[in-house]
């Protein structure tokens, strides 16, 4: 996920990249921005704090070093953070339990015309504070897409289990094969999805249907 880092952070990345490549020739260094964590020193009127935040939260907060008030669009244009991720990031900073910046107008959702300000009234009993990210709810389409991707990752395990069972048993009915698969597989799966994998293996000539009974499978060596 792309992000436009502040100049100071770019300098540190370049220093580390030069160091890393000097130790490991022939390698390529790639930054996973969504996994980055930082500790920011924050100087509030009511006391100094250390904020434990994600890289995206860091990039947003560092904008307030030069501005006390920014619009959603200004933050989006400056940081280059993807729209959905930026809304989640701003929610965690301005709408969560730890509100290190404020949102105008107030509300739980981040809208296109919202404004964000440095929270001069922020105070907390602890010196170091962790600002937790907010988890967005998946839409029905996203949930379906996630389920499909998980099954695609697992289909190789299913194929291997079918071949393993059939190699041992040689001949097996559809019902018994499905039963043994449910016993061996360590994750939930629908019978219809198992049938699809069996059909795929038949197409690839690992198995065949018995000519006398289509509900019986024969293993092909």
pLDDT band, residue 151 (cuts 50/70/90): confident
Q: Is the pTM of this model over 0.95?
A: no
Rounded to whole angstroms, how far apart are CA atoms 50 and 126?
9
* Structure confidence at residue 27 (pLDDT): 84
* Structure confidence at residue 30 (pLDDT): 86
pLDDT at 138 over 60: no
What is the percentage of the chain residues whose pLDDT exceeds 70?
Answer: 96
- Give Cβ neighbours of residue 220 (< 8 Å, ≥ 6 apart): 205, 206, 207, 208
Task: Tell me whether the omega of the peptide bond preceding residue 105 falls within 30 degrees of 0, making it cis.
Answer: yes
pLDDT at 1 over 80: no
pLDDT band, residue 209 (cuts 50/70/90): very high
Query: Coil, strand, or helix at residue 103?
Result: strand
pLDDT band, residue 31 (cuts 50/70/90): confident
Average pLDDT of the chain is 90
* Structure confidence at residue 107 (pLDDT): 87
Rounded to whole angstroms, how far apart are CA atoms 105 and 99?
14
Average pLDDT estimate for 50-56:
94
Residue 217, burial from CB neighbour count under 10 angstroms (0-12, 13-18, 19+): buried
Tell how far CA 5 is from the center of its chain: 20
> Residue 193: which of 157, 163, 142, 140 has the closest Cα?
157
* Structure confidence at residue 135 (pLDDT): 61
- Output the six-digit token pair for 86: 């930026």
* Structure confidence at residue 25 (pLDDT): 83
Rounded to whole angstroms, how far apart are CA atoms 129 and 103?
20
Render pLDDT for 171-190 as a digit per residue (tens, 0 to 9): 999 999 999 999 999 888 88
* Structure confidence at residue 28 (pLDDT): 85
199: region left, alpha or beta (phi > 0 left; psi from -120 to 50 alpha): alpha
Average pLDDT estimate for 101-121:
92
């Amino acid at each position: 996920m792309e992000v436009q880092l502040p100049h100071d952070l770019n300098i540190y990345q370049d220093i580390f990249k030069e160091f890393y490549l000097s130790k490991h020739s022939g390698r390529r260094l790639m930054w996973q921005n969504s996994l980055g964590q930082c500790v920011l020193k924050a100087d509030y009127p009511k006391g100094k704090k250390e904020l434990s935040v994600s890289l995206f939260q860091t990039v947003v907060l560092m904008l307030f070093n030069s501005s006390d008030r920014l619009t959603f669009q200004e933050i989006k244009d400056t940081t280059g953070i993807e729209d959905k991720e930026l809304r989640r990031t701003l929610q965690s900073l301005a709408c969560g339990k730890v509100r290190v910046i404020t949102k105008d107008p107030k509300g739980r959702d981040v809208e296109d015309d919202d404004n964000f300000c440095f929270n001069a009234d922020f105070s907390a009993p602890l010196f170091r504070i962790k600002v937790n990210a907010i988890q967005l709810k998946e839409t029905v389409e996203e949930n379906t897409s996630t389920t499909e991707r998980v099954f695609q990752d697992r289909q190789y395990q299913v194929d291997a289990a079918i071949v393993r069972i059939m190699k041992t048993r040689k001949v097996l009915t559809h019902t018994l094969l499905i039963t043994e698969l449910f016993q061996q597989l360590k994750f939930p799966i629908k019978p219809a999805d198992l049938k699809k994998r069996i059909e795929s293996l038949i197409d690839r000539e690992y198995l065949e249907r018995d000519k006398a009974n289509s509900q019986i499978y024969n293993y092909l060596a």
